[in-house]
Amino acid sequence: EAQVTQNPRYLITVTGKKLTVTCSQNMNHEYMSWYRQDPGLGLRQIYYSMNVEVTDKGDVPEGYKVSRKEKRNFPLILESPSPNQTSLYFCASRTMGGQETQYFGPGTRLLVL
């Protein structure tokens, strides 16, 4: 089954404690991205990657890091989380050609205290 998986699904942490949210896709997609979704602000892109070792900033990259060492994985790293990073996070993937839709993971709900 084609899918994007994220872990963990729910996370409560404290300010400053480094965390990683994993993302994996099984569709051999070149393009992967991370979004955050906040009430009233909609979906905002954090980072994206168009291939292995190729990453770029989205609209709200501050406070986040990503890496793309393998095609299937695209982890999101919060080196020093702050309360304003409390949000619902989605990983997504798709092909580069624009012929197919974008697939989303189930989301990770993060609370930073």
Partner 1 sequence: KQEVTQIPAALSVPEGENLVLNCSFTDSAIYNLQWFRQDPGKGLTSLLLIQSSQREQTSGRLNASLDKSSGRSTLYIAASQPGDSATYLCAVLADSNYQLIWGAGTKLIIKP
What residue ranges bind partner 1 (CB under 8 A)? 31, 42-43, 45, 48, 50, 58, 88, 90, 92, 96, 98-107, 109
User: At closest approach, how far in Å is the CB of 72 from partner 1?
Assistant: 18
Nearer to partner 1, 14 or 71 (CB): 71
Give all strands of the β-sheet with 65-66 in edge-to-edge order: 4-7, 19-25, 76-78, 65-66
Nearer to partner 1, 81 or 89 (CB): 89
Whole-angstrom Cα distance, residue 89 to residue 64?
A: 12
* CB-neighbour burial class of residue 32 (10 A; exposed 0-12, middle 13-18, buried 19+): buried
User: At closest approach, how far in Å is the CB of 104 from partner 1?
Assistant: 4
